[in-house]
Amino acid sequence: MIFICQLLLGIFCYVFANSTHLWMAVISRVLMGIVCAPTFIAAFYLIAHTLPEKYFAVVAGFTEMLAMLGGVAGEALLARSVVLYGWQHTVMILAGVALTMSFLGWVLIRDESKNMAPPADDAASRRHVLRDLTAMLMLPQAWVNGLFCGLLFGVIAAFGAFWCIPFLMQKYGVPLGHAADASSMIFIGAAVGTPLTGWLADRLDARKVLMHVCSGLACLVFLAILYLPLSSFAWIFPLIFMLGFFSAVYVIPFAVIRDITPHHMRGTAMGYINMMCILIGSPLLQPLMGYILHRHDPLTIYAYQHAFLVIPVCLLTAFMLAFYVQEK
Cα–Cα distance measured from residue 195 to residue 47, given in angstroms and rounded to the nearest whole number: 14
In a domain, 29, yes or no: yes
pTM of the model: 0.77
The dihedral region occupied by 205, where left means phi > 0, alpha psi between -120 and 50, and beta the remainder, is left
Residue scoring higher pLDDT (300 or 120): 300
pLDDT at residue 92 in the model: 92
> Which residues make Cβ contacts (< 8 Å) with residue 215, sequence separation at least 6?
148, 152, 246, 249, 315, 318, 319, 322
In a domain, 328, yes or no: no
pLDDT band (50, 70, 90) for residue 217: very high
> Mean pLDDT: which of 65-74, 117-126, 239-248 is highest?
239-248
User: Could you tell me the residue range of the domain that residue 275 belongs to?
Assistant: 2-112+122-320
Q: What is the pLDDT of residues 170-207, one digit of tens each?
A: 999 998 888 988 998 998 898 899 888 888 887 877 88
> Which residues make Cβ contacts (< 8 Å) with residue 307, sequence separation at least 6?
163, 289, 290, 292, 293, 296
pLDDT at residue 14 in the model: 92
- Other beta carbons within 10 angstroms of residue 263's beta carbon come to 9
pLDDT at residue 15 in the model: 92
Distance of CA 313 to the CA centre of its chain: 19
Cα–Cα distance measured from residue 47 to residue 57, given in angstroms and rounded to the nearest whole number: 9
User: Exposure of 155 by Cβ count < 10 A (0-12 exposed, 13-18 middle, 19+ buried)?
Assistant: buried
pLDDT band (50, 70, 90) for residue 227: very high
pLDDT at residue 199 in the model: 83
Residue scoring higher pLDDT (110 or 94): 94
> Which residues make Cβ contacts (< 8 Å) with residue 221, sequence separation at least 6?
239, 242, 243, 246
In a domain, 79, yes or no: yes
In a domain, 325, yes or no: no
What percentage of the chain has pLDDT greater than the value 70? 91
Structurally, the chain folds into a number of domains equal to 1
> Mean pLDDT: which of 9-13, 38-42, 102-106, 116-120 is highest?
9-13
pLDDT at residue 121 in the model: 52
Q: What is the pLDDT of residues 6-28, one digit of tens each?
A: 899 999 999 999 988 889 988 99
Q: What is the pLDDT of residues 262-293, one digit of tens each?
A: 777 777 787 788 888 888 877 889 889 999 99
Interval 102-118 mean pLDDT: 68
- Other beta carbons within 10 angstroms of residue 256's beta carbon come to 25
Per-residue pLDDT at 116 exceeds 70: no
What CATH number should be reported for the domain holding residue 286?
1.20.1250.20
Per-residue pLDDT at 44 exceeds 90: no
Interval 214-231 mean pLDDT: 94
In a domain, 40, yes or no: yes
pLDDT band (50, 70, 90) for residue 311: very high
Per-residue pLDDT at 236 exceeds 90: yes
Q: What is the pLDDT of residues 137-167, one digit of tens each?
A: 788 888 999 999 999 999 998 998 889 999 9
Whether the bond between 119 and the residue before it is cis, its omega within 30 degrees of 0, is no
pLDDT at residue 120 in the model: 47
> Which residues make Cβ contacts (< 8 Å) with residue 296, sequence separation at least 6?
302, 303, 306, 307
Q: Mean of the per-residue pLDDT values for the chain?
A: 84
In a domain, 117, yes or no: no
What percentage of the chain has pLDDT greater than the value 90? 34
In a domain, 24, yes or no: yes
In a domain, 160, yes or no: yes
Per-residue pLDDT at 307 exceeds 90: yes
Interval 306-324 mean pLDDT: 95
pLDDT at residue 74 in the model: 66
> Mean pLDDT: which of 48-57, 91-100, 266-275 is highest?
91-100
